[in-house]
A and B are shown apart, each in its own frame.
Chain A
Amino acid sequence: MKRGQVLVAAVAIGLVWQALAVLVRRPILPPPTVVLQSFLTELPRDLGEHFVASLWRVVASIALSVALAVPAGLVLGQSPRLNQIFSPAIYLLFPIPKVVLVPVVLLFFGIGDLPKIIIIFMILFFQILVLVRDQAAGLRPELLHSVRSLGAGRRALFRFVYLPASLPAILTALRQSVGTAVAVLYVAELFATRRGLGYYIYFTGSTLFDYPKMYAGVLAMSLLGLGMYFAVDWLHHRLCAWQFTR
């Protein structure tokens, strides 16, 4: 997609919003200009801090899930035996909507960043695990044979074949699930915290009834999700150039 097209779409969405605001004419739907103004004034104050808190939770979860899911996925992908043992459990756990576990995780891990990070981690972990596993399992035996014939042992196969082969899987998994992760972060931040965009949106809207601020929070959370998506997409094009050349 071209940048210009994205920009045109953003402007179009803004215009529809503006039109709706004019039609509805109620404080619960302020026009985009007011929200944008509120966003810009609040960002250097509270909003920025909440944004950073949420961003940190997402980034930490991504790092944690990549660090754990990639090795696990590579091992399962290489070993049909282990995969046979674990895949029924993964099959059962993968589709569970992790958001319903928010209260449970909060009970176990209490307040602070950790329970939020764990929630997002659970979403990303399974997605990455499954894609990396399937990618590793799907490598053609001819490819492995010929690299082994060049002298590669287990270690080198990991470094020169399995790891680069799993990179697109990692980035695809992140692209598919980072949106869900931010959505679930919103829910997780409704509880047991005074930091994060989820809290900010809820607090400004339901307690302070300051709707422009609430929408500024919604905007910030959207930008967080969008920013993560763009970052992953950019990395994908940069690190896996071979998938995009024809």
Chain B
Amino acid sequence: MITLQSICFAYPDGTNVFEDFSWEVGSGEAWAVLGPSGCGKTTLLYLLAALRHPTAGEIRISGEPLFKPRPRTGLILQDYGLLPWATVRENVALGLRLRRFYGPDGVHSPADERIPELADRIDPWLERLALLSIAESYPAQISGGQRQRTAIARTLALDPDLLLMDEPFASLDAPTREGLQALTIELRNERGLTTVIVTHAIEEAALLGRRILLLGMIPNTSAMVYDNPGATHSTYRDTSEYASMCAQLRRAMEAIA
């Protein structure tokens, strides 16, 4: 699904984040990217979203070289990225309205997509993510968890095949976070999505990543990968396998620092 081939990336100020870095993500895989602050996790995600571009090397998604944001890639950020002037319903509809705005041009929206009634595509997601009762509220009026559910509904309404999440639950309280983690696993299993979730929390990586990429000190030159095949359900949290995965990751992170 995703291939990074010997990519390099440095910020204009000279901070070198990736150097000759290669990594591969298979279709339908569930990845977590873990690492300390400043290790380049978010940069990696922005590279995958084509919001930043490697200075050397190549990124391919579904075999295509990646130059601009791909219509079938969904991106969910910690700060939700909702339009403050639009209601929950309008925010969820935003992606579809953008596709209508451009038409099926294959650049901004998939070439093979016809969008019927917006409501037909949106209402099921509003219902699924328990947003119907607040559909006419503005982002400032709802809780953090509701905002993130709105962002998730907006992304999933576009029927993505690749979901990128950047610390999506970091600013939520623990019960809300656990609820959304369970929902993420559920949706992922249901839709066979390829997911890459960036997190600084070991527990989150061990719960959501069936494969875990650990980034260390920059520049990153090689991918440290941990397999975590048991992470298929939110009850994984209660297993000893999970606990030992967390311990293993914690030791690895301490070794980096």
Q: Footprint of B on A, CB under 8 Å?
A: 140, 142-143, 145-153, 155-156, 159-161, 164-165, 167, 240-243, 245-246
What are 20 A-B contacts defined by CB distance under 8 Å? Answer: A142-B79, A143-B81, A145-B46, A147-B98, A149-B49, A150-B75, A150-B154, A150-B155, A151-B98, A151-B99, A151-B102, A152-B108, A155-B101, A156-B98, A160-B83, A167-B85, A242-B87, A243-B85, A245-B138, A246-B140
B71: CB under 8 A from chain A?
yes
**Contacts known (A145-B75, A149-B51); A242 close to B84, Cβ less than 8 A:** yes
Q: Flag whether B57 is at the interface (Cβ < 8 A).
A: no
Chain A CB within 8 A of B97 CB: yes
A159 to B101, CA, bound (A): 10
Once the chains are docked, how many angstroms separate the CA of A236 from the CA of B222? 54
**Chain B residues with a Cβ closer than 8 Å to the other chain, count:** 39
* Pairs A-B, 9 closest by C-beta atoms: A146-B81, A149-B75, A150-B95, A242-B138, A151-B108, A142-B79, A242-B85, A151-B98, A143-B81
* Contact in complex: B85, A165 (CB < 8 Å): yes
Of chain B, the residue at the smallest CB distance from A167 is: B85
Taking a contact as CB atoms under 8 Å apart, the answer to whether A147 and B94 are in contact is yes
How many residue-residue contacts, CB under 8 A, span A and B? Answer: 87
| Distance (whole angstroms) from the CB of B110 to the closest CB of chain A | 9
Contacts of A156 in B (CB 8 A): 98, 101-102, 108
**Bound complex: CA of A167 vs CA of B85, how far in Å?**
10
B residues 193-244 touching A (CB-CB < 8 Å): none
| A residues in contact with B138, CB < 8 Å | 241-242, 245
B interface residues, Cβ below 8 angstroms from A: 46, 49, 51, 69, 71, 73-87, 94-95, 97-99, 101-102, 107-109, 137-138, 140-141, 151, 154-155, 158, 164
With both beta carbons as reference points, the residue of chain A lying nearest to B158 in the complex is identified as A150
In the complex, A164→B94 CA distance in Å? Answer: 13
A242–B90 Cα gap in the complex (Å)? 12
Check A148 against B51 for contact (C-beta < 8 Å).
yes
Contact with B81, one of A147, A160, A245 (Cβ below 8 angstroms):
A147
